[in-house]
Amino acid sequence: MTGCVMSNAGATSSSRSTKTAGDPDTRQALLRVAVEFNNDYAANRSGLVYGRWDARSKSVIPRAQYVRRHVECPTAPGRALVEGASRAAHGYWRVFYSISGTRLTDYWLYQGGRWRFDLVRSNPSAVTLYRLPFAAYAAAVGCTPSK
């Protein structure tokens, strides 16, 4: 792991990684994308988060269902501090970050000119939850959605 610490405060709408021009295939670009991704997750901008997923992750749950779950059952894990990134096996990159002192690792791939988040590799327990029917998902995460 590197000693790089990136602040999450610098992402603005003008620097959004969701532009169609693509992302540079560099470690620094991945770190910028990871900061924006974690900021979007913390702010419950679920559509932008889903837009960064790789195809395998998108096969777990359709976008509309993912967004609905996060609108009706918002998650507030706290602000993520992206700490660094390193190459891993099979083309993956590991991104290291912490939330409230808990250290976590996400896995990313560079595909089709974009950095893509691999939910299946990064958070298999979330995959299990997203495969549940909505009511079971809501109960599992302790949410009482309004109807």
What pLDDT is recorded for position 77? 75
Q: Is 135 helix (H, G, I), strand (E, B) or coil?
A: helix
137 phi/psi in degrees, rounded to 5:
-60, -50
Give the model confidence (pLDDT) of 39-57 as tens digits. Answer: 999 898 999 999 999 999 9
The two tokens of residue 79 are 């602000």
The two tokens of residue 113 are 């000119």
Q: Could you tell me which residues come within 8 angstroms of residue 137 by beta carbon, excluding any fewer than 6 positions away?
A: 69, 73, 129, 130
What pLDDT is recorded for position 21? 74
The domains located in the chain, with CATH, are 23-140 (3.10.450.100)
Is residue 118 within 8 A of residue 57, CB to CB? The reply is yes
What's this model's pTM, rounded to 2 decimal places? 0.82
Give the model confidence (pLDDT) of 77-119 as tens digits. Answer: 778 899 999 999 999 999 999 998 899 999 999 999 999 999 9
What pLDDT is recorded for position 146? 64
